[in-house]
Structure 1
Amino acid sequence: MTDVSTAVAGDLSSLATYREVVQQPVVWREAAGLLADRADEVAKFLDPLLAQPELRIVLTGAGTSAFAGEILAPALSRALHRRVDAVATTDIVSNPREMFAEDVPTLLVSFARSGESPESVAATQLATQCLRSVHQLVITCNADGRLAREHQQADESLVLLMPSATNDRGFAMTSSFTSMVLTAWLALAPAQDAALAERLAEAAEQVLARSDELTRLTAGGYDRVVYLGSGPLGGLARESALKLLELTAGAVVSYYDTALGFRHGPKAVLKEGTLAVVYLSNDTYTRQYDLDIAEELRTAIGAENVLVIGAGSSNGGPETWRIDGLSDVDDAALALPFVVIAQLLALRFSIQLGRTPDNPFPDGEVNRVVQGVTIHPLPR
């Protein structure tokens, strides 16, 4: 049987994408270990920068790598009490003078699976061209990628390599994305619990053990899925929507928004055949708004069509999918086991539709590493 027909028959192990999803608990532990081994080097690089009150931190990447920054930026702003911006490389490359309009000391944090995307390299070069004081932290899964090679020995740069297995072979970023988010959070957020990576890995193992529960949803005839989240989980909603769009090659339409923003027009997307996924924040204030929209959606489209994901206590709560043991962690960390659910959901939708998850665009309309981009020189 082909990989897809084998997967439809129930054996997902033939798919690289599936293997890369289920390896995440293992590679998260490995990524945390790699960072711990370089703790002194990382501190030597970051501590003087973070001591500068005027330092601007810019988190950048393209596509899924950009959404890593969208998850981390609000959480890091709160943790570091400073300005942290998520700016896609695609925005930096097309509008560098606007993105770097303030010539202040800047730490550019680049996320890249392959490090071969034209915009990834160009963004780091444009930062140097536009700013008088810029340091570069490169977080990548490919030691042989151009981004890693150019910054490995560069002054004022530090390259953090992820475990080699995270350089995903599948089309969609899964373990690459989560490992980079975890590494950046552990490296940049102060006073992190040394056991956090282990707790997150155990939570992901909870999710994987329950993955068959998603079968009902993917066989339910849905042709559109809405993901909603607040704060850092807004970036997670965006990544979740992209994962579904990628792996189904657009056959299932996906949409993302914030809990409050959804009512301001985008709610018009709801119709018969819509599945809504609501991510609940661990912040008790923010969570109130997530609960409000979840209840509103249950009324609008039926509770059976609303998947509410949270990390509430074992004493009961509104979640239809509760992850135990993480009710005290920041939303940026909570996003990691949450996104495993979205990855599995996208994978199962893809298989249900007879797609090829490892290569959902066999004709090459969309590529694993973006092609066709011309980087134009920035006039002096």
Structure 2
Amino acid sequence: MTTTQDTSLDQWKTWGEIHQQPQIWRDWGQAFDVASVRDWIAAQSHDEVWFCGAGSSAYIGDIIAASVPNTRAVPSTDLVADPHAFLTGNRPLVVSFGRSGNSTESIGTLDALDALAPDAPRLHITCNPDSALATRPSPGPVKVINLPEATHDAGFAMTSSFSTMLLTALALFDASCDVPARFGALADQLEALLPTLGTPRPARAVYVGSGALTYAAREAALKVMELTAGQTPALWDSALGFRHGPKSFVRDDTAITVFTSPQQPTAAYEADLLAELRAQFPRARVTSVGAGGEIDIAMPYGPAWAAPLCIAAAQIDSVRWAADLGLNVDDPFAGQGTLSRVVSGVTLYPVAP
């Protein structure tokens, strides 16, 4: 492992946004009135809890739904494309995540709810207090959580916005806990971890995990592809699913990261996969990150809570690899006109009641 102490990277906002996460979590843990929001949630009438968002915001929902009972991840990209398939006859509590809060799919989700489930309660967690998620009126019950201004990442890739939205939702929907203490403990872990992270750039990368960490692997792979502008292909899968075809992606020049769980039998399956990969691909770089891993991350609160710590390894590598490729880390697609920080160019179509 190398160290993250590299002053040449200080020029990039994304680098600073990764490193500000511990302080954001500490401060937000103290300021966040969790009890009042949990009381509001308990007072709502709903059939299910849905977590909605697009891209990284959708993966937040995947991580939580994989670990918190009676919740469901419904990407806004799916909901907007076929709203009747989801909303006919349902009264969900719809939790929408949005860094900008203004993406086309965020607005399309509100439109679909207005048309098909106007009375369904809505909880909006956003990093932009001026956004549609923060300010648009709702015909039914709505609660807005505006995260600290620092979480409104200026860089292309979601980093502190992703982690803080995830931890905020876990504080609301997982078992009740001492939020200031837990956020503070996680901040201490990440602060100690960050200086130890950083690996040489591979030709391609793989991230795998189990349960909630499967979707942490998905977010990690996305960070690599986003920040290296697709020049470092990245794949994600579950630890057991990886053998079923996706392993064909691996070559000698591949870096494979396995996010390891403290739970059994999960940890045993992951140990078997690590041993198999090292035997079959002796020239590939295989690293375990997580409970008992080569990068050891204690997970006393469970894998979902530790997901931001695991993903931090990919955040750090992604910035380093992008800089190594000579890219603009804060806008890797500058001049291409293909991807932008807030997705644009999507036409919304009316939703018939």
TM-score, normalised with respect to structure 1: 0.87
Deviation at 1:146, TM superposition (A): 1.6
The residue aligned with 1:365 is 338
Structure 2 residue 235 is the aligned partner of structure 1 residue 255: yes
1:225 to 188, 194, 205: 205
Counterpart in 2 of 1:3?
A: none
SS at match of 1:11: helix
Deviation at 1:74, TM superposition (A): 1.4
Segments of structure 2 that go 5 or more residues without pairing to the other structure are none
Quick check: 1:104–1:133 contact (8 Å CA) kept in 2? no
> Paired residue for 1:351, among 323, 327, 331?
323
Q: Distance in 1 between matches of 2:6 and 2:53?
A: 37
Q: SS where residue 328 of structure 1 aligns?
A: coil
1:297–1:303 CA contact under 8 A, matched in 2: no
1:142 positional shift: 0.3
Q: Distance in 2 between matches of 1:301 and 1:238?
A: 22
Q: Where in structure 2 are the equivalents of 1:94-243 lying within 5 Å? A: 94-101=81-88, 103-131=89-117, 133-151=119-137, 155-194=140-179, 195-211=181-197, 214-215=198-199, 217-218=200-201, 222-243=202-223
User: Structure 2: which amino acid aligns with 1:58?
Assistant: W
- SS of structure 1 residue aligned to 2:166: helix
The 2-side partners of 1:9 and 1:44 are apart by 45
Structure 1, unaligned stretches of length 5 or more?
1-6, 313-318
User: Within 5 Å, which residues of 2 pair with 1:43-122?
Assistant: 43-49=38-44, 55-77=47-69, 82=70, 84-101=71-88, 103-122=89-108
3-state SS, counterpart of residue 134 of structure 1: coil
Q: Which secondary structure state, in structure 2, belongs to the residue aligned with residue 160 of structure 1?
A: strand
Q: CA deviation at 1:243?
A: 0.3
Following superposition, the deviation at residue 285 of structure 1 comes to 2.1
* Deviation sequence 1:264-297 (CA, Å, 0-9, x none): 1111111121110000112222222222211111
SS at structure 2 position matched to 1:196: helix
Per the TM alignment, residue 209 of structure 1 is displaced from its structure 2 partner at its CA by 2.0
Q: Please say if 1:342 is aligned against 2:319.
A: no
1:374 aligns with 2:347: yes
Secondary structure of the residue aligned to 2:124 is: strand
Q: Secondary structure at the match of 1:168?
A: coil
**1:312-368 Cα deviation digits (max 9, x unpaired):** 3xxxxxx22112xx3322111010111111100111111111111101011221000
Counterpart mapping for 1:310-329 below 5 A: 310-312=290-292, 319-323=293-297, 326-329=298-301
Q: Is the 8 A contact 1:15 1:357 kept in 2?
A: yes
Give the structure with the larger helix fraction: 1
Name the residue aligned to 1:315: none
> Post-superposition shift, 1:196?
1.2
Q: CA deviation at 1:44?
A: 2.9
Any conservation in 2 of the 1:20–1:175 contact (CA below 8 Å)? yes
Tell me if the contact between 2:207 and 2:257 (Cα under 8 Å) persists in the aligned partners. yes
From 244, 251, 259, give the equivalent of 1:279. 259
CA distance in 2 between partners of 1:288 and 1:99 (Å): 37
Which amino acid is 1:64 matched to?
A: S
CA distance, structure 2, for counterparts of residue 74 and residue 278 of structure 1: 18
Taking structure 1 as reference, are residues 8 and 198 closer, same or farther at Cα in structure 2, changes over 3 Å only?
closer
State the SS of the aligned residue for 2:112: helix
For each residue in 1:62-83, what CA deviation from the matched residue of structure 2 results, as whole angstroms up to 9, or x when unmatched?
1110111111111111xxxx2x
Q: CA deviation at 1:104?
A: 3.2
- Pairwise CA distance, 1:155: 4.4
User: Identity over aligned residues, as a percent?
Assistant: 36
Superposed CA RMSD in Å reads 1.9
The CA deviation at 1:206 is 1.6
SS in 2 for 1:297: helix
Shift of 1:140: 0.3
